[in-house]
Structure 1
Amino acid sequence: MSSMLENFKQPKPFYMIFFVEMWERFGFYGMQALLAVYFVKSLGMSDTESFSVMGAFMALVYGFVSIGGYIGDRVLGTKRTMVLGAITLAIGYFLLAASAHFSHLVFTALGTICIGNGLFKANPSSLLSKCYKEGDPKLDGAFTMYYMAVNIGSFFATAFVPVVSSHFGWSVAYILSGVGLVVALINYMLCRHWVAHVGSEAGMKKLNFNKLLVVIIGSVIGVFVSSFLLRNLGVAHWVLGVIVTAVVLYYFYETARENTGYQTKMIVAFILMLIAIVFFVLYMQMPTSLNFFAINNVEHSIFGIPINPISFQALNPFWIVVASPILAYFYSHFGTKGKDLAMPFKFAIGMFLCAFGFLVLPLGAKFANVHGIVSSSWIILCYLFQSVGELMISGLGLAMVAQLVPQRLMGLVMGVWFLVSAVASMIAGHVAGLTAAPKGVTGAIQTLPVYSHVFLQIGVVTFVIAVITLIAAPMLTRYINADVTATKKETILPA
């Protein structure tokens, strides 16, 4: 028993970072759970407009992460950037709370949240990795539990913040999200001496106030640029298109000049990232189309227990927490026997699960009651399939993609991965918009066929992509394994 407990024991800095991340994610997911509904019910947007703004907002949220990681590594230091990001996020949530009374503040609030998330997001995980020596066997367990912190924060936020909103209003709910960041900051300040000796090279140097001033000014400019793009979605799409084109061309330029056995692997990595775009489009339906489906056409109870329909989103982190140790066991069990599935096969299975997640909904619609209301069991099943699929794609994808490129391009690939999420968010907004009921259609009996038709289309397209991925998986696996051999040969040559 003592040896088993020893495996879970982590150094002190881990627990501080764990709780900082948990509270920050509580704030973020509490805000995200409400946002699309808030746009419609408080600000008077149409469903289509709400989904489009939501997609652009999430694209910016992901798009700034690489910049925040760079500032943490090279400019201010990991800890300082993390704190600055948390402060900025808290300001964004409090501004969002104020926008319930002063609607002109909403885009400024969203722009502030985009910048705050960009500054914060990459740095806790970067700091955590620096708390362990190279090759420390506790590192994998630490990141597994760290991922758990994300989902614990997400679960409590999506379960309870919507309830607070329904009882006390939008402002109080967003203030609660801001309080999550305040708690995270207090947690850090009380325990920061635990990581006094840990950080990036820039963070171990004395604070350069000129650099801090430049970052703050840049952040303020970023807030107003983000606010402008969210007000002008056509410009935002154009800007994203230019950035994506430039990054993809540069990626293939680097692929073409690669001569160390990684060239084919980099092509495989790009294919896996294209598959990941499809996954993230589906993932972003949770706070948009699936959220509105739950509100309009799903019974507002689970096994007879009343529930705020927005809180159905809590099923995602719930199933993640339940399924993670089960999958980890099977990976370990079959891995020790040399029978673990290669990553392309796991991606294919993940896509099949995501397809089933949407295909069960039109099936459930067949059993709707005379009022057009579907049993909550169907959306529970939808989130189960989606969440296990997430673990097999998003949970493993970034680590696998990172193994398929040379070390010198790691920063580029991390940036491309977040760009994948940004592109997917934009596309997801348009896909969610397909579920928007035509003008004058409001009743559950009328909206049910609309949701059912779109979810069926999403499920069928995803199923076809899953079949193609499964057919291609043996070839992709051969390319990966062949290049692994080539890479191993390359590493023993003299420099």
Structure 2
Amino acid sequence: MQTPSQPRAIYYIVAIQIWEYFSFYGMRALLILYLTHQLSFDDSHAIGLFSAYASLVYVTPILGGWIADRLLGNRVAVIAGALLMTLGHIVLGLESDSATSLYLALAIIICGYGLFKSNISCLLGELYDANDSRRDGGFSLLYAAGNIGSIAAPIVCGLAAQWYGWHVGFALAGIGMFIGLMVFLSGHHHFRHTRGVNRPALRSKRFVLPVWGWLLVMLCVAPVFFTILLERDWAGYLLAAVCLFAAQMVARIMIASPEHRRALWQIVLLMLTGTLFWVLAQQGGSSISLFIDHFVNRQWLQFTVPTALFQSVNAVAVMSAGVVLAWLVRPGAGGSSALRVWLKFAFGLALMGAGFMLLALNARQGQIHGHASMSLMVAGLALMGFAELFIDPVAMAQITRLNMPGVTGVLTGIYMLATGAVANWLAGVVAQRTTESQISETAVAAYGHFFSQMGEWTLGCVAVMIIVLAGRKLLGNGVPGLAEAGEE
């Protein structure tokens, strides 16, 4: 998974990323099925809680990025986040069907994810100089390698949940995160040149307590706060407030750094396009998973394939293509780097649209034959998984290339907010269109119409992007906002 030209520290970053993917996607594959089967939530309630959790998971990286930039450094923040995620998955794995226990476990995972997710990408970015040509390959490699965990997790956790119970599947996700943390810690000597803890800032006093004391207070209060948000279904209100705050932060950064303004506009445009992509992609954990559970014929030989195992399909597609793409992104590639960024985004959206059209065809087959095809389902999910390689790795490489000390972690967190929190919340709103009071012929028709609309809108957006890019290229105007950060 690593070429000799890459820094040796990438081994340990890739290792913890693999196990983080294992823990997160193992739990994600089970969650909505656990809510509908074990806790007897109806589809609408289950989608609402799933999207609230998934959106809150991506709210916290803004604060996690700020804490890493100002206080802990990326490496320590990653370690703290991994510990919290391990604890949250273990709580989820306890033998209890209490909704309060579920909310608390999800809240702890939300806090851990905030410290981990944006800062693991920033830690990787610290391994390269600003103009290092290996950077894009490193990010594609990390993204593809992490999917080893997301391939294995739904299979291992899904089968464990089917054979031994839901809580065994959840506990395995926590054990995986702990293994990843131990591997990461074993390579500490390779990270000596990265930013460490800001001890003077932690010892300084703010409102009576030292800053480290306030961090401990926050660690105790935050899980309770997020538990209340999940119980009361208030995630949308917090998300709106955080989005306003994030917009104000971006505006302040632009005002303070006029020399980087074009590059910052690039990030804003990538955020908006990435949000559209992830509204579609996050249907995999909610509406698509429920469609598979309700309508797909999952019989293979004498075995019923658990619904959770289908979550591995898009990860297999990412893994299969990722190493090839990392090899193709090599020094000396010709053409406009700004144009390449947008063409990659357009291609990713085109693949996503094609995947939804396949799902729409499959839903229509379900109407005709009484059940949908497993092979068409796999083909559609594979296209969607392949599409991911043209979105996040490209955007993350562009953000960490900005070379703006003190704000990289915050910008990464804001990207996570847009493409994670906002996209997941919107994905839940969109997925509610598929829910009905009972499983019926009308319901499968609703899924077919829903998938068809998603595919048509996405392919329409791709057509608009290509027309705009072609027009500006012919007029010689380039691509606005991309010139500075797009240079390699």
Structure 1 residues 200, 486: closer, same or farther in 2, change over 3 A? closer
| Partners of 2:122 and 2:409 within 8 A in 1 | no
User: What whole-Å deviation, never above 9, does each CA across 1:397-419 have from its counterpart, x for those lacking one?
Assistant: 23346668977864553233122
Cα deviation for residue 297 of structure 1 reads 1.4
Structure 1, gaps ≥5 residues long = 489-495
Q: Residue 216 of structure 1 aligns with which residue?
A: 216
1:400-479 matches, cutoff 5 A: 400=398, 410-420=408-418, 421-436=420-435, 438-439=436-437, 441-443=438-440, 445-474=441-470
Give distance in 1, aligned partners of 2:2 and 2:439. 57
Q: Deviations over 1:328-353 (max 9, x none)?
A: 455559x7343875322322222222
Give 2:381's aligned residue.
383
Q: After the TM superposition, which of the residue ranges 415-424 and 296-305 deviates more from structure 2?
A: 296-305
- The 5-angstrom pairing of residues 191-230 of structure 1 reads 191-195=187-191, 197-202=192-197, 211-230=211-230
Structure 1: how far apart are the matches of 2:425 and 2:2? 45
CA gap 1:330/1:76 in 2 versus in 1, 3 angstroms: closer
SS of the residue corresponding to residue 366 of structure 2 reads coil
Q: CA deviation at 1:42?
A: 1.6
| C-alpha deviation, 1:387, in angstroms | 1.9
Contact 1:262 1:487 in 2 (8 A): no
Output one character per residue of 1:190-236: Cα deviation in whole Å (capped at 9) or x when no partner: 443444x2431426889869554432321221111111111222x32
Give yes or no for contact 2:68–2:74 (8 Å, CA) kept in 1.
yes
Paired residue type of 1:232: R
In 2, the alpha carbon distance for the partners of 1:155 and 1:51 equals 23
Q: Deviations over 1:431-466 (max 9, x none)?
A: 112111x22x225x4532121121112222222222
Structure 2: 5+ residue runs without aligned partners? 205-209
Corresponding residue of 1:321: 319
Give the alignment's TM-score, normalised by structure 2. Answer: 0.86
DSSP 3-state at the match of 1:366? helix
Q: 1:194 to 1:314 in 2, by over 3 A?
A: same
| Aligned partners of 1:357 and 1:383 also within 8 Å | yes
Q: Distance in 1 between matches of 2:3 and 2:198?
A: 30
| Separation in structure 2 between the aligned mates of residue 269 and residue 141 of structure 1, nearest angstrom | 19
How far did residue 66 of structure 1 move? 2.5
Kept after mapping to 1: 8 A contact 2:313/2:378? yes
User: Deviation of residue 280 (structure 1)?
Assistant: 0.8
Mapping for residues 73-472 of structure 1, pairs under 5 Å: 73-98=69-94, 100-131=96-127, 139-195=135-191, 197-202=192-197, 211-233=211-233, 235-249=234-248, 251-252=250-251, 255=254, 259-260=258-259, 262-263=261-262, 266-301=264-299, 306-328=304-326, 336-338=333-335, 342-368=340-366, 372-400=370-398, 410-420=408-418, 421-436=420-435, 438-439=436-437, 441-443=438-440, 445-472=441-468
Indicate if the aligned counterparts of 1:268 and 1:476 stay in contact, CA closer than 8 A. Answer: no
Aligned-pair CA distance for 1:175: 0.7
Q: Is the 8 A contact 1:36 1:50 kept in 2?
A: yes
**SS in structure 2 opposite 1:429?**
helix
Q: CA RMSD in A?
A: 3.4
Distance of 2:485 and 2:148 partners within structure 1: 39
- 211-220 vs 84-93, greater mean Cα deviation: 211-220
Q: Distance in 2 between matches of 1:486 and 1:141?
A: 20
| Cross-structure match for 2:207 | none
> Structure 1-normalised TM-score?
0.85
CA distance in 1, matches of 2:67, 2:30: 30
Q: How far apart are 1:70 and its partner, in Å? A: 2.5
1:424 maps to a residue whose letter is A
1:24 to 17, 20, 23: 20
Amino-acid identity (%): 26
Identify the structure with bigger relative contact order (alpha carbons < 8 Å, sequence gap 6+): 2
Q: Take 1:160 and 1:80, find their aligned partners in 2: how far apart are those partners? A: 29
1:39 alignment partner AA:
L
Change (3 A) 1:99 1:81: farther
